[in-house]
Every structure is written in structure tokens, then in C-alpha cells.
Amino acid sequence: MQTSTAFAHSEIRSRPVWKFDRNGTFWEFDVFRMDDHRFKENFRLNKSAFQKVCEKVQRIEKMDTNMRLCIPLHKRVAIALFALGSSAEYRTVASLFGVGRSTVVEIVLYFCNAVCDNLLDCINSYPPHPEELKKIVHGFGQLGFPQCFGAIDGCHIEVQPKKEDAIDYYNYKGWYSVNLFASCDYRSKFTDIHVGSSGRNNDSYIFESSSLKSYHENADIFQQNSKRIGGMDVPLLLIGDSAFRLSRYLMKPFPFHRISQLWKKRLTTGYSDVRA
């Protein structure tokens, strides 16, 4: 009986661990040779910011078990950032990092939940606190944009919609997406985020139906902080690209074709001063 027990224990100890052996050299070798620029291209953060994110989401770290070693915290964060910051499929990310596809899915979900719980202080709320408002406006003023509270724009995120819904997600770039629309302050800190509009909707359409527009139309704090510039009372406003509609609370670039017309008129007429 003792001989049988000893034999059984030796069998258990020598039994191979149940896992598929995957080889991924991207994180273990390639990433650590990258300079800060290359690192940011892959993970959308420089190495210093990456380290800060790791410190904020330590709860997604796992412990080693008797059966296997866990995926280290920094590698888990890198997998999540790479998956979220690129249009690569989960199986491509899994192959790149040498992990299973289901592992990538799990890591991304845990990472997103940890970010929502621990990084809320990186997103301001509307309407802003008066002191924070003054700080942001002053910051934009230092950059050359007086009376500005935020810069707005959108970004398309690739998706694979259901066949019956595909037409709604087909964007002007020629692929399927949902739109991430956001505003940020002079520090590139988000002040408002809207996610989920189908790709066929442009940035202007999303803004016109957003709570962000409603805040700037109706919140008294933006009117109360108006400033006299060039003989006009200018309220606190947003800045955006030429896709948006010009209004009293949103400034957009002067139309390029109009500028071209003015310069053409100046060159042909010899005027030293051409007024719009």
C-alpha cells in the first residue's frame, strides 16, 4: 500500500501542466528594446504614463498558482492597451503576446472595469466647478485661445456589426465603426465623452444632439464668465474643426476656400488690405 501511494505521488508530481504552450516574443523582447516614441506608437502612452496606469489598476494583477505562473501586471496592462488602441482582432493580439484569445478578452474587460473605478478623477464633470473653469480657460489662453473651455473632435473605432445593421455603421472612410466623441482641456484631459454613435453619423451630427451642446447653451456659468473682446461680449466656448457648425458657443476655423479667394483678390487688385 505504501509503495502504491508513493508511486501515485510521483505520478502527480511529474504530470505536465495542462496548458497549450505558446511562444510570444513581442512583449518579452521587442517592447523592452523600444524607445519612448516606438512604445507610444504601440500602446498610445509613453513609458512614464504606462507605469502610472499600472499603479492605478493593480487590482487586475493575478497570483501564481501551483499549476501555472500568472501573467504579470505590466504585461496584462500592455495587452489591454494594445487591444483597445488598435483595430487588431483578439486572436491577433493573443498570438502577438503569446496568450490565449479568451485570456485577451478577460484582460480587456478587467482592465476597463479597473479604469472606470480608479481613473474617474481624470475625467472632469459638467457643469464645471468655478475654480476648475478659470484654470482651464487660463490654460487655453496661454496656448493662444482666449475664452476657450474645451476642444472637441471624434474618432472612429472599427467594429463588426450584424449584417442587418451594417449600413448604419458604414463610415465615410469605407469601413464599419462606432464613433467616440469627446472634448478635452488644454492638458488633453477629457472633460466630456460620448461613445456608441454609429459610424455613419458625423461629428457635427453627434455634437448637435449631445448633452455637451445643451450644457453650453443653457448653463449659466458659461455666460457669467463672458469677456469683452474687440467690443463684443464673448462667452466661454468650444473649439472644433471645420466639420462643426459655427455658433456663439463653438468656434471653427475660417473656411480655407474663403481665405484663398481673399488672397487671390489681393494679388489681382493690388489691395494692401482686404477685409472679409
Q: Walk along the chain (276 residues) and give the pLDDT tens digit of each residue.
A: 555 545 445 444 444 444 445 556 788 888 888 898 999 888 988 999 999 999 888 888 787 677 777 889 999 999 999 998 887 888 999 999 989 899 999 999 999 888 888 877 666 567 788 888 899 999 999 998 899 999 999 988 888 888 888 888 998 889 999 998 999 999 888 888 888 888 888 888 999 988 888 888 888 888 888 888 888 888 888 999 888 888 888 988 877 655 556 556 665 665 444 444
Say whether both 109 and 140 belong to one domain: no
Say whether both 74 and 139 belong to one domain: no
Burial class (CB in 10 A: 0-12, 13-18, 19+), 97: buried
Q: Which residue has the cell 475625467?
A: 123
Q: How far is CA 167 from CA 5, 34, 164, 195, in A?
A: 66, 40, 8, 18
In-domain check, residue 193: yes
Q: Which residue has the cell 498610445?
A: 44
Among 90, 120, 150, residue at a domain's last position: 120
In-domain check, residue 170: yes
In-domain check, residue 272: no
Range of the domain at 44: 2-120
